[in-house]
Structure 1
Amino acid sequence: MSTASKGPARPTTAELEALPLAPPAATGLREVVRRRYLLGMLVRNTIKSRYQGTVLGWLWSYLQPATRFLMFYFLFQVMIGRGAGTIENFAIHLFAGMVIVHFFTETFNGGTQSLVQNRSLITKLPVPREMFPVARMLVAAWHTVPMLVILVIPCILLGWRPDPVGMAAALLGFSLAAALGLALGLLFSVGNVFMRDVGKIAQTLTMFVTFSVPMMYSYTLVEERFGPTGAELYLYNPMAEAVLLIQRGFWTGTTSDPAATAEVHLPDHLFTRGLAMTAVSVLLLVLAQRVFARLEAKVPERL
C-alpha cells in the first residue's frame, strides 16, 4: 500500500551542521524591522522554549511575580510596617523598581548570550544578526507585562489612578531602559562571541543594578547619607533615573499625598534628566550598532 506524500522531510541536525556557512545578509536595526515576521517567529519560539515541559505554561509568568509581590507585601507592610518607618507603601515602591530592573537585566543578559545560544541559526541562515539581541529585548518586554499587571492591581486597590504625567514618566523610564539594555546587549553579545568571559562580566554587572538604584531604599536616604554632591553623582546612573521615573508613574499615586511624596522622595528635574539620559542611551545604541556591524562578519567563523 502506498502512503501519501507528507512533503519534504525536515533536515536533521547533522545535515544542518554539514551545510556551508550562510552568505552575508543585509545588516542593521532597520533590516531587523523589515524582517519583523522572522523576528516574531524567533520571539515566539524563545518564549515557548522557556515554558516547554511545564503544565501551567505561560501562567508561570503571572504566578511568579505575584508570589514575589505577596512576599514583599507581607514582609514590609505586615511584619515591618511602612518600609522601616520611612516609605509609605514600601512594597509598591520596591516592586515598581523591580519591574523595570527585571526588564533591563533580562534585555542585557539575554542579549549578551543571544548570539552564542543561536549559533546554529546564525551560521546557516542569512539573517541580520542584530535580530537576536532585539528578539531577547522583546522577550524581556513580554515577560514584563505580567509584572506590570501584578503592579497595577494593588496600586488601584490603594487608590492609584493613572495620570498623564505619571504615565509619561513610566513610558520614559521604559524607553530609557530599553535603549540602554539593547545597546549593551549588542556590544556584549558580539564581545561574548570572541571571549566568553564577557558573558560573565555582564552577569556580574547586572548584580550591582539591584543595589545601585533607589528600590530597596529611597532616594531621600541617598541624599541624607551622601549629601547633595553624592546624590548628584548617584543620579548619573541611568537605571536609577529609570526606577525613579516608574515610581513617579505608579508608587507616588498610591500614597496619601502624591504631590508631597513626589516632592520629598523624587529629585528635581526628573523629566529633564530622564530625557537627557534617554538621548544618551539612543546615541550609545547607534554607536553599539556600528561596532556590531564592524565585527559581525567574523561571528560565524568564531561560533
Structure 2
Amino acid sequence: MTQTNDELVRPGVSGGLADIVRARFLLKLLVRKELKVRYRGSVLGLMWSYIKPGVQFLVFYVALGVFMGLEQSPTNKSGLPNYAIYLFSGIVLINFFTEALGNASRSIVGNGGLIKKIYLPRQLFPVASVWVSAVHFFPQLLILLAACFFSGWHPSLLQLAAAAIGFIIVTLLATGLGLLFGAANVYFRDSENFVDMLLMVATWASPVMYSWTMVHNKLGESWFTLYQLNPITVAVETFHYAFWLPTTDESAGIPPNLLSIWVPVALIVSAGVLIWGQLTFRRLEGRFAQEL
C-alpha cells in the first residue's frame, strides 16, 4: 500500500495575491469582460477616456487658471508657468487613482452572482478593476505626452524614472485600498459612501490644481511634513517633476527631498497598505458567498 505525506487542503482557501499570477488568464478575461460591459451600447466607447478628462481639465483650467489666476501671464507673474501642463499631469494620475479605487471597492459586490456560483480567486476582481483603470489611463497619458512635446519637453532619465515610480505608488495604494474596501463593502455597504468621500478629498488633498509651495507657506514646515506623508501627494509631485518641470525654466523647483526621502516613504506606505488590504481581504473572503 502506497503512503503519501501530502497534507489535506481546505477547499476554497485563498493563496492571496499569488493566486493572481497563477490565474493571470482569468485576470485577462475579467479585464476584457469589464471593458465590454462598460462600453456595451456606447457609441463612443473608449473615446470617453479622452472626453471626460478633457472636459474636467477645461473646467478646472478656466476656473482656477483663468479666473483664480493660477496661470502665469504677463500681468500675473505669481502664477505657475505652463499651468495647463501642470494641471493635466496631476489630473491624469488622480483620475487613475479615483477610478481604480472606486471600481475596486465595488467589484466584489458587483460580481456577487459569479462569486456565489463558482470558486475562483476573489482577489481577481479588485485587481481587474485596477487593470481596467490602467487601460483608461494610458490614452490620457498619450495626450499629456503630446502636449508636453508641443511645449518643449526635455526630460532627463531621472525624471522619467520618477514618473514610473509615481505610477507604481498609486497602483500599489489603489490595489491595497481596493482590496480593503472591496472586502468591507460585502459586510458594510456604507463603505461605498466612505470611499466616495475619500475620493472627493483625495483630489483636493494633493497638489493637483495648486502648487505645493502654497501649502508650505500656509501650513508651515511641521504640517507640510504631514501633508507629504500622503502617497498620492508624492506621486502627483513626481508627475509634475517629470512632465511639467521640463517644460519650464525649472526655477519653480520641486519639494525638498522629494526623491531622496518622500518617494521611498511613499513606496513603503503604499506597500504597507497593500499588505494590510490583502490580509484583511483574506480574513473576510471566507464568507463572501454567504453574505452576498
Task: Answer whether TM exceeds 0.5 for this pair.
Answer: yes
Are the structure 2 counterparts of residues 68 and 134 from structure 1 closer, same or farther at C-alpha, using a change threshold of 3 Å? same
Kindly indicate whether the alpha-carbon contact (under 8 Å) linking 1:187 and 1:291 is maintained by their aligned counterparts in 2: yes
The answer to whether structure 1 residue 144 and structure 2 residue 137 are counterparts is: yes
From 38, 58, 82, the counterpart of 2:72: 82
User: How big is the shift at 1:75?
Assistant: 5.9
CA distance in structure 1 between the partners assigned to 2:180 and 2:51 by the alignment? 33
Please list every run of 5 or more consecutive structure 2 residues that lacks an aligned counterpart in the other structure. Answer: 1-10
Letter in 2 for 1:82: Q
Kindly indicate whether the alpha-carbon contact (under 8 Å) linking 1:241 and 1:273 is maintained by their aligned counterparts in 2: yes
Are the structure 2 counterparts of residues 75 and 152 from structure 1 closer, same or farther at C-alpha, using a change threshold of 3 Å? farther
Are the structure 2 counterparts of residues 299 and 94 from structure 1 closer, same or farther at C-alpha, using a change threshold of 3 Å? same
CA distance in structure 1 between the partners assigned to 2:174 and 2:239 by the alignment? 16
Equivalent residue number for residue 34 of structure 1:
22
CA distance in structure 2 between the partners assigned to 1:237 and 1:284 by the alignment? 12
Letter in 1 for 2:31: V
1:21-46 Cα offsets, whole Å, 9 max, x none, are: xx626431111121111101101111
Letter in 1 for 2:99: E
Equivalent residue number for residue 176 of structure 2:
183
Letter in 2 for 1:284: V
The percent of aligned pairs where both chains have the same amino acid is 39
Equivalent residue number for residue 3 of structure 2:
none
1:52-81 Cα offsets, whole Å, 9 max, x none, are: 112222122223334444555566667754
User: How big is the shift at 1:107?
Assistant: 1.5
The answer to whether structure 1 residue 55 and structure 2 residue 54 are counterparts is: no
Equivalent residue number for residue 9 of structure 1:
none
From 226, 240, 252, the counterpart of 1:261: 252
The answer to whether structure 1 residue 163 and structure 2 residue 142 are counterparts is: no
CA distance in structure 2 between the partners assigned to 1:283 and 1:28 by the alignment? 15
The answer to whether structure 1 residue 301 and structure 2 residue 284 are counterparts is: no
The answer to whether structure 1 residue 94 and structure 2 residue 82 are counterparts is: no
Are the structure 2 counterparts of residues 199 and 70 from structure 1 closer, same or farther at C-alpha, using a change threshold of 3 Å? closer
From 283, 290, 299, the counterpart of 2:272: 283
3-state SS of paired residue (1:296): helix
Kindly indicate whether the alpha-carbon contact (under 8 Å) linking 2:126 and 2:178 is maintained by their aligned counterparts in 1: yes
3-state SS of paired residue (1:134): helix
1:9-28 Cα offsets, whole Å, 9 max, x none, are: xxxxxxxxxxxxxx626431
User: How big is the shift at 1:214?
Assistant: 0.9
Equivalent residue number for residue 111 of structure 1:
104
State which drifts further: 140-149 or 281-290. Answer: 281-290
CA distance in structure 2 between the partners assigned to 1:41 and 1:161 by the alignment? 39
1:129-165 Cα offsets, whole Å, 9 max, x none, are: 0110000010111111111111111111000033211
Q: What stretches of structure 1 move > 4 A for 4+ residues in a row? A: 70-81
Letter in 2 for 1:282: A
- The number of aligned residues is 276
